[in-house]
Amino acid sequence: MYFSAGAFILAYSFVFGLIAGSFLNVCIYRIPKKLSIVWPGSSCTQCGTKIKWYDNIPLLSWLLLRGKCRGCGAKISFQYPAVELFTAVITVLFVHKYGLGLWAPCALFAVYCLIILSVIDMRLMIIPDRFSIGLIVYGLAVCFINPAFEGAAVARFLSSFGGACAGFFGMWAVALIGTFVFKKEAMGGGDVKLMGAIGALSGVIGVVNALIISSFAGIFYFGILVLLGKPLDNGTSIPFGPFLSVGLLFNLYFPAVIFSVL
């Protein structure tokens, strides 16, 4: 059977994405606990048994073990294969779109950070500063090859810096107004910093674009909760980080659409 070079690259990208997704799961579990992400090796969170290499193959091991620990039989969260598969698919999409140039790995690094912070936010309602603030710095650093920006180096940097300021201070103003109106914290500091990162990576117009997309994503999420019969009241807290991440993911994959639509 004949495989073209392009098909081989995409297949390799899928496998790489699965491996990357497995590492992202490690980060998701260990970073909030302030544990090392490189040592010791993976072990069952229930019985503490060290996971053998053949039980730690991304996606495949979970399927073969039917989602259970070989040692104690405890269920392994569906989050693990879901993150691995999603990361693999996203990796293939970005490599297919941008090829093997400089921007593909740069964009994927940002996307991988978004996956980690989104799952952490969904689980714990926090966004670690190393990701929100880190992505602001990262966005400024890679603005010179970012297809969302145009012009000379100075113009690109100013566009990225202006976007970061617009995203951060704009969301900060929204948070203050929300706190005043609802008499309680309406938005976490992590969301404010993440919006700054969105601006640094996609500019001022990208901030607006991400807000629109994240709002629709939030409405869709609420709709799913209602359909599933989940109770919603005034005390219900919803993590906004994952929805903002959807907006930035769209900006990173469709940078030209930001300018053509808005």
Q: Kindly report whether the peptide bond that precedes residue 239 is cis, defined as omega within 30 degrees of 0.
A: no
Residue 201 has pLDDT above 50, yes or no: yes
> Mean pLDDT over residues 117-138, rounded?
96
Distance CA 232, CA 218 (A): 14
Name residue 183's beta-bridge partners.
none
User: How confident is the model at residue 38, as a pLDDT?
Assistant: 87
The domain in which residue 132 lies consists of: 128-262
For residues 238 and 190, the model is more confident at 190
Q: Kindly report whether the peptide bond that precedes residue 40 is cis, defined as omega within 30 degrees of 0.
A: yes
Distance CA 135, CA 109 (A): 10
At residue 153's C-alpha, the angle toward residues 206 and 100, to 5°, is: 70
* Mean pLDDT value across the chain: 89
Indicate the pLDDT class of residue 23, thresholds 50, 70 and 90. Answer: very high
Shared domain for 217 and 175, answered yes or no, is yes
Q: What is the DSSP letter of 75?
A: B
Shared domain for 24 and 143, answered yes or no, is no
For residues 206 and 259, the model is more confident at 206
User: How confident is the model at residue 222, as a pLDDT?
Assistant: 82
User: How confident is the model at residue 31, as a pLDDT?
Assistant: 96
CB 217 within 8 Å of CB 164: no
Indicate the pLDDT class of residue 256, thresholds 50, 70 and 90. Answer: low
CB 42 within 8 Å of CB 57: no
At residue 241's C-alpha, the angle toward residues 223 and 80, to 5°, is: 85
> Mean pLDDT over residues 198-222, rounded?
92
Shared domain for 34 and 145, answered yes or no, is no
Shared domain for 164 and 247, answered yes or no, is yes
pTM: 0.91
Residue 218 tokens read as 């939030």
Residue 136: inside a domain, yes or no? Answer: yes
Residue 9: inside a domain, yes or no? Answer: yes
Closest by alpha carbon to 58, among 74, 37, 42, 72? Answer: 42
- pLDDT tens per residue, range 147-158: 999 999 999 999
Shared domain for 93 and 166, answered yes or no, is no
Shared domain for 41 and 89, answered yes or no, is yes
Distance CA 64, CA 66 (A): 5
User: How confident is the model at residue 122, as a pLDDT?
Assistant: 93
Shared domain for 152 and 261, answered yes or no, is yes
Distance CA 132, CA 243 (A): 14
Distance CA 148, CA 133 (A): 20
Shared domain for 93 and 208, answered yes or no, is no
Distance CA 132, CA 137 (A): 9
Indicate the pLDDT class of residue 261, thresholds 50, 70 and 90. Answer: very low
Shared domain for 81 and 155, answered yes or no, is no
User: How confident is the model at residue 70, as a pLDDT?
Assistant: 87
Shared domain for 14 and 96, answered yes or no, is yes
- pLDDT tens per residue, range 32-88: 999 999 888 888 888 888 888 888 999 999 999 989 998 888 899 999 999 999 999
Cβ atoms within 10 Å, residue 195: 32
Judged on CB neighbours under 10 Å (0-12, 13-18, 19+), 70 is middle
* Total domains in the fold of the chain: 2
- What percentage of the chain carries pLDDT values higher than 90? 68
User: How confident is the model at residue 186, as a pLDDT?
Assistant: 64
Instruction: Point out the domain boundary residue: 57, 85, 100.
Output: 100
Among 70-74, 244-248, 251-255, the range scoring the smallest mean pLDDT is 70-74
Residue 14 has pLDDT above 80, yes or no: yes
User: How confident is the model at residue 257, as a pLDDT?
Assistant: 60
User: How confident is the model at residue 231, as a pLDDT?
Assistant: 64
